[in-house]
Amino acid sequence: MRLNCRLEAAVASLRKVPAEGRAGGERRTMIFTLVNLLRNAKIDLSNEKRAQADVEQILTGAGIAFEREVRLTESDIVDFMVEGIGIELKLRGARKKEVYRQLCRYALHPRVESLLLASNLSMGLPPRIEGKDAYFVKLGEAWL
Amino acid sequence: MTRTYGSIALSSDQTQWIIQRAEPHVSIRLKQLFPSIPKAAVPPYFLPHNLVTDTDLHWFMRRYPLKISTLDRKMLAQGHASFLRQQGEMERILMPDYAPDGSAQLREGQQLRPYQWQAIEVLRRRKRLLLGDEGGLGKTYTAAGFLVTEPAALPAAVVCDAHMQRQWKEKIEAFTHLRVHLINKGRPYELPLADVYVYRVSQVGGWSDFFATGYFKSVTYDEPQSLRTGSATAKGAACKILSAHTTYHLGLTATPIYNYGDEMWHIMQFIDDSALGQWPEFEREWCHAIGNGKFRIADPKALGTYLREQYAMLRRLKGDVGQQLPKVSRIVEHINYDEKTVSAVEDLARALAIKATTASFVERGSAARELDIMMRQTTGVAKAKTAAAFARLMVEAGEAVVLWGWHREVYEIWNRELADLKPAMYTGSETARRKEAAKARFLSGKTDLLIMSLRSGAGVDGLQHRCCTGIFGELDWSPGIHQQCIWRLDREGQTSPVTAFFLVTDNGSDPPIMDVLGIKASEAQHIVDPHLGVEVKENDISHLRRLVERYLDRKTGAA
């Protein structure tokens, strides 16, 4: 049962097992940092522009270097790039299939080493898209 | 002689301005500035004689002078001057170093705090106020303080939720010497002599005619979001009449918006109907439609800022008034659910889902609602056992716990699973009296578990002295409801850090509810607190850790 897992995890953390040590690889550590930051931030969900401005503020506040609106191809611009991680923001109203196809196109680009989708759509992602690691952050949770 | 473009005069009862004549191009300008004049109307036009309109007219007539008598011109100038004076005074009152100069006849040992005085003074001048102070800052005491300070506000009516009626009497009587009568019928009867009459919102429908007599001089709406469905309901229509026949209107709520921001317009209709204008204007200028007759606010921050600038809404957070309460941790726990429960309803759900997408318009609507109700209940039931186990874990670790839910079926499972803990029940199924008894049993320590309905707790006071841990076993569609629940624990008197657990599953109705909650909460927060930056939630699991430790200690101790 997952409740028990959580209990075990809580007990494990009492035993001081370092959580980050297990992640391995600098990029994965960065991904976990980003996931944690975005998941716990109350990001303005009224429109994508405001949401992006909030994410920018959070990244700046956390001292993480990023690029905004990085053009990958003629038609594709990823919202943020942090090291090799492409971060895309999508709010409810976007079409899930469309979002997925967009991520597939991003994944084909050599600059993108992994993908992070931050969204309040109820959707999931496969662990890898076009051979690149894919992660999903649910944005609604911080507002609970 | 100055060229004039029409003529204007005060009505004989001095309540409105009558523009008897206006040249066509000036009529067009007038209608642009005063949308309450219908576009198709011809003179005479009628405008209310109040400070805001006087000021706008004063300004308009500098560009397009209208013929006006000397006496009326004086009245107009007076209105304009009062407006400026009032604005200046409001600014002075709301300065951080404001020293209250009024005095209030309170019971011995009681006193009002400076921030409560600010609200009272703003209300005395503006006569309409939505007081949105964060839960736990003593809004009820502010209202009581106002009633004592302003003799012209008595006799006063208070409209509140059923479970709050008694608490109003207790609080006012403990704080002031005012006499309080609790209304006990839904129809008028001979009222005993008192200063404050407290209505349950369900009772007001039958009292419209009495309200129209103008007996009450002020009205206080406690948690007016219960009127968010507007004046189309019986209670809404009655409250509209009550507002129309009282001088002072006060609304008390820290969560004016339960769903989307357009509710703000409906609530302001009862408190200050001039603040946001007529619905068509409001809809056009502030909203965008999202279908199903629902509206979202296009720029929530702008709306929040506007309401504050108008002094129509006053809101202070605990930090603003220097109250240092322990932080609240909100922890989202993804828990397992019972697959058997879910598969049992899946076939029915599938049939309903097909109907909801393909059937006729009316059928679609009812099928969709039925599906929603069923999915929520099923989700609640499917995680009920795990939620019970979670609550037990907390109680056995020596913690007093409030467990929030919504469906009777879920309460049944909890009661069965946790029977040995003898939970106290405070839900929609209990009468006000039985709820009080349940609360007393929990507060006196006879049980460590209070099972509470998500929607019957707004305003309840006292739980903070007994408990700092709350568990949401089910989710509500409105983020304001969750906030109200948490404020039962996170309020003055609380000495420990409050932890609220949200038990959610990755299946059933929880994921879509959480999506919608995010959107609603985001919009509501930007209206009520337009100037807060991006907040990063603090996930303090140290409390959880301590509980687990204690739990394990007890288990090993017992073994």
Select the residue of A7, A58, A140 nearest B515 (Cβ to Cβ): A140
- Residues in chain B where the model's pLDDT stays below 50: 559
Tell whether A40 lies on the interface with B, counting CB pairs under 8 A: yes
- CA B231 to CA B276: how far, in whole Å? 16
Quick one: which of B202, B190, B165, B160 has its CA closest to B180? B165
C-alpha angle B1/B5/B9, rounded to 5°?
Answer: 95
Q: At what angle do helices B361-396 and A2-14 cross, to 10 degrees?
A: 40
Q: Does B304 touch chain A (CB under 8 A)?
A: no
A37 → chain B, closest CA residue: B536
Within an 8 Å CB–CB cutoff, is residue A4 touching chain B? no
Rounded-to-integer distance, Cα B390 and Cα B337, Å: 13
| Concatenated DSSP letters of B317-370 | -TGGGT--PPPEEEEEEE----HHHHHHHHHHHHHHHHHHHHS-HHHHHHHHHH
pLDDT, residue B196, reads 94
Least confident of A19-33, A42-56, B8-22, B502-516: A19-33
- Name the residue among A40, A57, A92 with its Cβ closest to that of B515: A92
Backbone angles phi, psi at B452, to 5 degrees: -125, 145
Q: Of B134, B106, B130, which is closest to residue B119 (Cα–Cα)? A: B130
Q: Which of residues 66-105 of A touch B (CB under 8 A)?
A: 92
Task: Check CB contact of B519 with chain A, cutoff 8 Å.
Answer: yes
Q: Which residues of A touch B552 (CB under 8 A)?
A: 11
Q: Which residues of B touch A92 (CB under 8 A)?
A: 515, 519
The answer to whether the Cβ–Cβ distance between B512 and A46 falls below 8 Å is no
For residue B425, give the DSSP letter.
Answer: E
Q: What is the pLDDT of residue B356?
A: 61
Report d(CA A140, CA B517) in Å as an integer: 7
Distance CA B546, CA A14 (A): 9
Q: Can you state the percent helix, strand and coil of chain A, rounding each to 5?
A: 45, 25, 30
Q: Is B114 on the interface with A (CB under 8 A)?
A: no
**Beta-strand pair A77-82/A85-90:** antiparallel
Tell me the shortest Cα–Cα distance from A128 to chain B, in angstroms.
Answer: 20
The DSSP letter of residue B383 is: H
Indicate the pLDDT class of residue A36, thresholds 50, 70 and 90: confident
For the entire predicted model, the pTM comes to 0.77
Sign of CA dihedral B154, B217, B187, B272: negative
What pLDDT score was predicted for residue B344?
60
Rounded to a whole number, what is the distance in Å from the CA of A91 to chain B's nearest CA?
Answer: 9
* DSSP character string of B222-264: ESGGGGTT-TTSHHHHHHHHHHHT-SEEEEE-S---SSSTTHH
Best to test chain A binding among B257, B396, B527, B534 (most A CBs inside 10 Å): B534
For residue range B49-87, what is the model confidence (pLDDT) as tens digits? 888 899 999 999 999 999 999 999 999 999 999 999 988
Which percentage of chain A shows pLDDT scores above 70? 83
pLDDT at A22 over 70: no
pLDDT given for residue A16 in this prediction = 36
Under an 8 A CB cutoff, do A11 and B552 touch? yes
- Cβ distance A42 to B537 less than 8 Å, yes or no, reads yes
Which chain B residues are closer than 8 Å to A138 by Cβ?
514
A2 touches chain B (CB under 8 A): yes
Helices and strands in chain A, H and E counts: 5, 7
- The span from the CA of B252 to the CA of B520, in Å, is 20
SS (H, E, C) B501-541: EEEECCCCCHHHHHHHHHHHHHHHHHHHCCCCCCEECCCCC
Mean pLDDT over each residue of chain B, to the nearest integer = 85
Interface check for B234 against chain A (CB to CB < 8 A): the answer is no
How many Å lie between the alpha carbon of A144 and the closest alpha carbon of chain B? Answer: 7
- Using an 8 Å CB-CB cutoff, list chain B residues near A57: 533-534
Q: Is A42 on the interface with B (CB under 8 A)?
A: yes
Q: What mean pLDDT do residues A27-38 have?
A: 85
Contact A37 B521 (CB under 8 A): no
Query: A-B interface: how many C-beta pairs under 8 angstroms?
Result: 98
Written as six digits, the tokens of B69 are 């008598």
pLDDT at B180: 94
Contacts of A37 in chain B (CB under 8 A): 536
Q: How far is B330 from chain A (nearest CA, A)?
A: 8
Answer whether A5 touches B (CB < 8 Å). Answer: no
Which pLDDT belongs to residue B249?
94
Encoded amino acid at A129, one letter: I
Residue A37 forms contact with B (CB below 8 Å): yes
Question: Is B502 within 8 Å of chain A by CB?
Answer: yes
Chain A CB contacts of B330 below 8 Å: 144
Q: Which 326-345 residues of chain B touch chain A by CB within 8 A?
A: 330, 332-336
